[in-house]
Amino acid sequence: MKQNFILWVAAVVITLLAGYLNSVMDPNYPISGRIGVNNEKIFYRFDKVYGGKEDFNILIKTESELINGFIKWKINGTDEWNILEMNLTERNLSASIPLQKPETKIIYQVFLVTETDTIQIPKNQNLETTFLGFVPSSIKYAGFITLFLGLLLSIRIALEYFNDKQKIKKLTLFAVSSFICYGIFISPVTKTFELGAVANIILSPSEMFKWNDFIFPLMWILFTILIFNLKQIKNVAAIAGVITLIIFLFFH
């Protein structure tokens, strides 16, 4: 009992750490930072992907009421820049770029204006954001839960290598079920919403199924077959968990 508890705790810790590393290494991780302007702290965070239903709101937190700002933006591939003045409310500078069609990429620059200077943040850097269609929260949560559960179970299965009273086959059935739900059902539905194809167009299989999502169910169907037909299943389970973790960290 104690050994099982330790292995479950270890699996949860590894899964949470993997999730954090995956988000930080994601090329779509938001650009954020803090700068000082006239001895005042300015906090910013710019999303690289936006999937909301309303206009894209850009928000900068400031401790000063003497700082203003504006945004220059354009649709990628065009030459005409648009200028938006930022509004100061409750020590937040904000401006909203109009909602765009799914897969539209915009380029923008953010400037702060003081009594004596105009400062671009981040300095000398064009920002990019890609618009995606709105995905209902229920689908987002379902995708997160099934992927998280599949990853947790795959790591726990790998850790069964250190368990005398192994339950690899039982855990494998839950893991493959989670990955099938995620990669074959939820991920394509999510992609359909992101591309704005709901009740509009029929997506091709290559558009609906991303390889780095679809590979999880395919891989675990294969691992399940091996685990239920081979004798040295501890080695197979350990390899399955390690491969799953590597794919999640570096290719998902």
Domain boundaries, the chain: 2-26+135-251, 38-131
Q: Of the ranges 40-44, 93-97, 244-248, which one carries the lowest mean pLDDT score?
A: 40-44
pLDDT of residue 116: 82
CA atoms within 13 A on the CB side of 16: 6
Per-residue confidence band for 72, with pLDDT thresholds at 50, 70 and 90 = very high
Mean pLDDT, the chain, rounded, equals 91
Question: Sorting pLDDT into bands at 50, 70 and 90, what band is 64?
Answer: confident
Whether residue 150 contacts residue 178, with contact meaning beta carbons closer than 8 Å, is answered with yes
pLDDT at residue 218 in the model: 95
- 0.75 surpassed by pTM: yes
Are 143 and 6 in contact by the 8 Å Cβ rule? The answer is no
Average pLDDT over residues 161-170: 83
Could you tell me which of 175, 172, 177, 179 has the C-alpha nearest to residue 227?
Answer: 172
Residue % of the chain over a pLDDT of 70: 99
Confidence of residue 95 (pLDDT cuts 50, 70, 90): very high
Cα angle vertex 58, ends 55, 62, to 5°?
145
Q: Is pLDDT above 90 for 65?
A: no
Query: Quick one: 38-131 is in which CATH superfamily?
Result: Immunoglobulins (2.60.40.10)
Distance CA 229, CA 155 (A): 21
Closest CA to 158 of 15, 28, 2, 43: 15
Q: What is the pLDDT of residue 193?
A: 92
**Percentage of residues in the chain having pLDDT higher than 90:** 69
pLDDT at 186: 95
Whether residue 166 is predicted with pLDDT greater than 80 in this model: the reply is no
Residues 24-36: tens digit of each pLDDT: 999 999 999 988 8
Residue 165 scores a pLDDT above 90? no
Can you spell out the DSSP letters for 171-222? HHHHHHHHHHIIIIIIHHHHHHHHTT-TTT-PPPHHHH--HHHHHHHHHHHH
Residue 210: per-residue pLDDT: 85
Higher pLDDT, 181 or 65: 181
Q: How confident is the model at residue 92 (pLDDT cuts 50, 70, 90)?
A: confident
Question: Which string of DSSP letters, residue by residue, matches 47-104?
Answer: -SEE--SS-EEEEEEES-SS-EEEEEEEETT----EEEEPEEETTEEEEEEPP--TT-
Over residues 111-149, the pLDDT tens digits come to: 998 888 888 999 889 999 999 999 999 999 999 999 999
DSSP letter for 28, please: T
pLDDT at 201: 72
Which amino acid appears at position 50 of this protein? Y
Contact of 73 with 81, CB cutoff 8 Å: yes
Position 55 scores a pLDDT of 96
